[in-house]
Amino acid sequence: MRYERKIPIPIECGLHLTKEVLGGKWKMSLINAIHAGIKRPARIEQAFPTLTKRVLSRQLKELEAHGIISKEIFPQLPPKVEYSLTPLGASLLPIIDMMDNWGNENRSFLEKVIEETRLMVEIGNHAH
Residues that bind DNA (CB under 7 A): 1-2, 5-7, 23-26, 40-42, 50-55, 57-61, 71, 73, 78-81, 122, 124-125, 128
CA torsion through residues 41, 29, 16, 88, sign: negative
Q: Of 7 and 36, which has the nearer Cβ to DNA?
A: 7
H-only helix segments in 1-128: 14-22, 27-35, 41-47, 53-65, 87-90, 93-105, 107-120
- Return the H-helix or E-strand segment holding 81: strand 80-85
Nearest to 29, CA basis, from 50, 48, 53, 54: 48
Give the distance from CA 127 to its chain's centroid. Answer: 37
* Among 35-43, 69-77, 85-93, the segment contacting a second copy (CB under 8 A): 85-93
Question: C-alpha angle 108/103/53, rounded to 5°?
Answer: 115
91 binds a second copy (CB under 8 A): yes
* String marking each residue 10-39 x if it binds a second copy according to CB under 8 A: xx-xxxxxxxxxxx-x--xx--x-------
74 binds a second copy (CB under 8 A): no
**Binding site residues, a second copy, CB under 8 A:** 1-5, 9-11, 13-23, 25, 28-29, 32, 48, 50, 58, 61-62, 65-67, 88, 91-92, 94-96, 98-107, 109-111, 113-114, 116-118, 120-123
